[in-house]
Amino acid sequence: MSLTPEVAGVVARMREADISFADLGLAEARQFYIDTLAASGGEPVPMGEIVEHELTLNGRSLNARRYRPEGLAEGTAPTLVYFHGGGWVLGDLESHDRVCRQLAQRAGCQLVAVDYRLAPEHCLPTSSDDAIAAYGYLVEHAAEFDIDAQKLAVGGDSAGGHLSAVVALAARDAGWPLALQVLVYPATDLREAARKYPSKGRNANVPPLTAELMAWFGQRSVDVNTDPLDWRVSPILAETLEGTAPALVITAGADVLMDEGVLYAARLADDGVDVDHAHYPGVIHGFIEMQAWLAATGEMMDRIAAAVRRHLAIPG
């Protein structure tokens, strides 16, 4: 896979650094992920208001952070619920703080970032169950979070894209309002057979998400109780995607997850869902977190913002 010149420079720097999450302990890897994304994400965009929340669910609580950009009118607002990436093992509200600020500002909407329990302490489908429960809680308690419940979107990157696809399926089944699902290079197929997707071989040595790191995540995100045929684990295996919210699916050409993102977009379209598939050739996994390094990041964020504005009827 040929890389764009800008991306090639980033990949060269990653290879020169020669640091792998697989060489670190779990706590070190989680902190390294946060530090890396802070460096690649650029200066944090100022917000009009940031509020920390705790979502009290059955038997557990999850942290959430509500972003309101400058200029957003007081009161209920169109809202994007966002789930961070990190292979279901890494990431938290801090790792994706810069991403969330950018998206909130560009879309002119409120954004609620939701944490979820990580593996290996809590293997799949725990994170899926957390995401579903959190979204349902936000719908039920919309007024407490200044959410306009008729103008709700869900989105996330990588593992967060997976969780967003799962939430869209659950929202359809539960009758919860959802106007848009934003799936940024989502993981959609965790079956053993999914290892044979051509993009996983072709891009196996392209950082940051190499085959080695994929194996590291795989060893930690699932256990004997994880059923890869469960739609909460492999949403591409859901009986039908018909009736889920309109989708923006973003894929990157130099990404091991490209094929399953492309196939999920096609499956959505085949099942009658309104799909906008935005593909970025020569771009790597994780580029939503690279605002300081790649022009493609800003272009992609503007694409997301335009979709959010259109589907949530936000002026501008």
- Catalytic residue from among 40, 95, 127, 158: 158
Which tokens hold the place of 306?
Answer: 């335009």
The reply to whether 158 belongs to the active site is yes
* CA-based nearest residue to 236, from 168, 306, 312, 150: 168
Tokens 């990949």: give the residue. Answer: 11
Q: CB within 8 A of 159, min separation 6: which ones?
A: 83, 84, 85, 86, 87, 88, 91, 127, 187
- Catalytic residue from among 40, 255, 259, 311: 255
* CA-based nearest residue to 271, from 233, 227, 237: 237
Helix (H/G/I), strand (E/B), else coil: 125: coil
The reply to whether 255 belongs to the active site is yes
The reply to whether 285 belongs to the active site is yes
Cα–Cα distance list, 227 to 17, 231, 233 (Å): 36, 9, 7
* CA-based nearest residue to 135, from 159, 108, 165: 165
d(CA 141, CA 46): 27
- Catalytic residue from among 53, 84, 162, 285: 285
Catalytic residues: 158, 255, 285
